[in-house]
Structure 1
Amino acid sequence: MTRSTRFLVAIFGVSGVVHLVRPEVYEPLMPSWVPAHREVIIGSGVAELACAAGLAVPATRRFAGLASALLLVGVFPGNVKMAVDAAGTRNTRFKVAAFARLPLQLPMIRAALRAARG
C-alpha cells in the first residue's frame, strides 16, 4: 500500500469515526441548504469508514479508490459553500475548519484515483 493510500485510510478512518461518535462537531460546518444535517453527517461518516476499509484491502482497493474520489468530489461543493458561509462569520474556529478543507481536496482526490489504478 502506498503512503498516499495509507494517508487516505487514516484520514477517512479518523474522520468517519468522529462523524459517528461526535456528529455535533460537524453540525456548525453544514451549509444551511443541506437537509437533515445529522443524517447527512452520519451517512458521510459511514461512507468514509467504508472507503477506508476498502482502500485497506487490496481486493477492494480499485473500487474503494473510485468511491473515495467520488465522495471527495461530491462533498467539494459543500466545502466551498461552507467556506463562503464561514467568511461571513466571526467564528474563527469555523473559518479555519472550512478553509483548511479546501486545499486538501485535490491531493486527496489524486491519491484516491492513484489507489484505484493500483
Structure 2
Amino acid sequence: MSFMTTPENSRTKTRAAVWATVFGGAGVLHFAQRRFYDSLVPEELPGEQKYWTWGSGLVELALAAAIANPSTRAAAATPATLFLLGVWPGNIKMALDWQKSEKKSALMKVGGWARVAGQVPMFLSTRKLGEQ
C-alpha cells in the first residue's frame, strides 16, 4: 500500500512545510524590516548592507519555493543548509553586538547566543529535506 501516507512521509511533509514557511517568512521580513537585517550584515562584507539584505531575502524566497515543491525539495536541501551556514556569521555578530549593548537585557543577551546555538539543529534539519 505505497499510496498511503507513512509516518516517515508525514514527517518529511511536515519538515518541508515548516522550512518553506520559515524561509518564506524570513524572506518577506528581509524586505519589510530591512533595517533590522542590515544590522546583522558584517561590516567586513563589501558593498552596502541593504544589498546583502535584499539578496539574502531573495535567496530565502527561492528556497521556500523549492522546498514547497516536492519535485525540487531534495535538490534544495544542500543549498538550504549552506545558506544557513552562510548567514550564521550574521547571527554571531548579532549576539556579539547584543553583549555590548546597554539597551539589551540579560535575557536578550542569553537569547542571542541561544539563537546561535540553535542554528546547529537547523543545519541538521535542512539536510534531512533531501531524504525521501
TM-score (norm 2): 0.76
One-letter amino acid matched to 1:116: G
Report the AA paired with residue 15 of structure 2: S
Q: Summarize the Cα distance change of 1:104–1:40 in structure 2 as closer, same or farther, 3 Å threshold.
A: same
Question: Closer, same or farther in 2 for the Cα pair 1:100/1:49, shift >3 Å?
Answer: farther
* Runs of at least 5 residues in structure 1 that lack an aligned partner in the other structure: none
Structure 1 residue 81: Cα displacement: 2.8
Whether contact under 8 Å (1:5, 1:111) holds in the other structure is: no
Aligned-pair CA distance for 1:109 = 1.2
- Work out the CA distance in 1 between the residues paired with 2:33 and 2:90: 20
Query: Highest Rg: 1 or 2?
Result: 2
Aligned pairs (5 A) from 1:7-86? 7-35=18-46, 36-86=48-98
TM normalised by structure 1 equals 0.84
Contact 1:29 1:98 (C-alpha < 8 Å) held by counterparts: no
What amino acid sits opposite 2:17 in the alignment?
Answer: R
Cα deviation, residue 104, structure 1: 2.7
Moved more, 77-86 or 51-60: 77-86
Query: Which residue type is aligned with residue 115 of structure 1?
Result: L
1:31–1:81 Cα contact (<8 Å) kept? yes
State the distance in 2 between where 1:44 and 1:91 align. 27
How far off its partner does 1:113 sit?
A: 0.6
Q: For the aligned residues, what is the CA RMSD?
A: 2.2
Q: Which stretch of the first structure deviates more once superposed, 17-26 or 99-108?
A: 99-108
Runs of 4+ in structure 1 deviating by more than 3 angstroms, as ranges, are 93-100
CA shift, 1:53, in A, is 0.6
Equivalents in 1 of 2:39, 2:112: separation in Å? 10
Where in structure 2 are there 5+ consecutive unaligned residues? 1-11
Deviates more, 1:37-46 or 1:90-99: 90-99
Q: Percent identity?
A: 34
